[in-house]
Amino acid sequence: MTGISVAFGGVSALSDVSLTVEPGQVHGLIGPNGAGKTTLFNVACGLVRPDEGRIVWNGSELRRLRPSRLTRLGISRTLQGVGLFRGLTVLENVMVGAHRHAKAGFFSALFAVPTSDKDDARLRARAMTALEELDATGYATRYPDSLPYPVQKRVALARALVADPELLLLDEPASGLGEDEMHELGDLIRTLSGRMSVLLVEHHMDLVMRVCDRITVLDSGEQIAAGTPAEVQANPAVTEAYLGDEVDVATDAAALAAADGREG
Ligand SMILES: Nc1ncnc2c1ncn2[C@@H]1O[C@H](COP(=O)(O)OP(=O)(O)O)[C@@H](O)[C@H]1O
Ligand SMILES: [Mg+2]
């Protein structure tokens, strides 16, 4: 993404932001609340059309990126929060994510139309494999509302993975997770980067610093830093931007100290 600018009703949310997720890398996008992270994420998903700038994917410019075309382009995403279909089981929710590879199966799953049993069986198998990777096969027949929040988040991630994307977009995947779950999520993201690129929007600094190859920092819609985790951490502009966000900084500093204690 190059030179992305977005304004909402005349108020600038992003101003001339550029970011490239390199193949096989985990790219972190951080910044205080209201920095424009979700807006940039939504530009990458086709949910927000930028006023200026270009989005290039696999060598060609995406002029009219629409969310419905994302999966076919090899891009999957999870949104801030969970966003599962309440009326579908866990397995069905994950099957919905697979429509890049499915033909009739997707619709038969949703509407119980008896179409091709073979497609349906293949789709089910793919969905179960994705659930297995997230340690969630045991929840396949449950409905999302009956599950703890962290499990719902895992199901949402399984739904993004079932399409076997080349690029995975994650908006605050660690929100609402405990320390151990966050650590597991970090390990999972590192594993996934072996077969896909990841754009990770997060405000948990310790997670971002641990799993990202490169990091872009936003503040008030402006790109204030970019580089490796070490470079970003050493950048005074970043520390300054986070001073307005004292609660988060305190929490993350405590988490970092705890993590250091464990590892050291
Ligand atoms: N749909 C919208 N309409 C109007 N203003 C918005 C909208 N989405 C975001 N904003 C504004 O854009 C700025 C960036 O928000 P956001 O991208 O959600 O930040 P972040 O995810 O970093 O917390 C904020 O000032 C927010 O109020
Ligand atoms: Mg956000």
Domains of the chain: 20-34+167-264 (3.40.50.300), 84-165 (3.40.50.300)
Q: ∠ CA(139), CA(204), CA(258), 5° rounding?
A: 95
- Cα of 33 from ligand 2 centre, angstroms: 7
Give, using CA atoms, the residue closest to atom 27 of ligand 1: 34
Asked if the model's pLDDT at residue 102 lies above 50, the reply is: no
Nearest ligand 1 atom, CA 42: 17
Q: Name the β-bridge partners of 8.
A: 11
Structure tokens at 2: 């190059």
**Helical (H) or strand (E) element with 255:** helix 246-263
Structure tokens at 54: 């270009």
Range with lowest mean pLDDT among 57-61, 103-107, 218-222: 103-107
Question: Regarding beta strands 52-54 and 2-8, do their DSSP bridges make them parallel or antiparallel, or are they unpaired?
Answer: antiparallel
Report residues whose beta carbon is within 6 angstroms of any ligand 1 atom.
8, 13, 31, 33-39
- Cα of 11 from ligand 1 centre, angstroms: 10
Distance CA 81, CA 59 (A): 31
Asked if the model's pLDDT at residue 182 lies above 80, the reply is: yes
Range with lowest mean pLDDT among 84-88, 202-206, 255-259: 255-259
Distance CA 135, CA 137 (A): 6
Nearest ligand 1 atom, CA 201: 21
261 versus 167: the higher-pLDDT residue is 167
- Map 90-144 to HEC letters: HHHHHHHCCCCCCCCHHHHHHHCCCCCHHHHHHHHHHHHHHHHHCCCHHHCCCCH
Mean pLDDT of the chain: 87
Look up residue 8 and give its amino acid: F
Distance CA 53, CA 119 (A): 40
* Backbone phi and psi for residue 164, each to the nearest 5 degrees, phi listed first: 55, 55
- Angstrom CA distances, 58 to 62, 69, 80, 162, 189, stand at 10, 15, 26, 21, 22
Q: Name the β-bridge partners of 217.
A: 30, 225
Give me the mean pLDDT over the 167-190 stretch. 94
- For 138-172, the pLDDT digits (tens) are 999 999 999 999 999 999 999 999 989 999 999 99
Nearest ligand 1 atom, CA 48: 1
Q: What is the pLDDT of residue 104?
A: 44
Structure tokens at 8: 């909402």
107 versus 47: the higher-pLDDT residue is 47
Look up residue 226 and give its amino acid: A
- Cα of 117 from ligand 1 centre, angstroms: 44
Range with lowest mean pLDDT among 63-67, 89-93, 174-178, 220-224: 63-67
Give, using CA atoms, the residue closest to atom 3 of ligand 1: 8
Range with lowest mean pLDDT among 31-40, 67-76, 117-126: 117-126
105 versus 51: the higher-pLDDT residue is 51
Q: What is the pLDDT of residue 98?
A: 77
Give, using CA atoms, the residue closest to atom 8 of ligand 1: 39
- Specify whether the CB–CB gap between 213 and 27 falls below 8 A: yes
Tell me the angle at which helices 179-192 and 149-161 cross, rounded to the nearest 10 degrees. 10
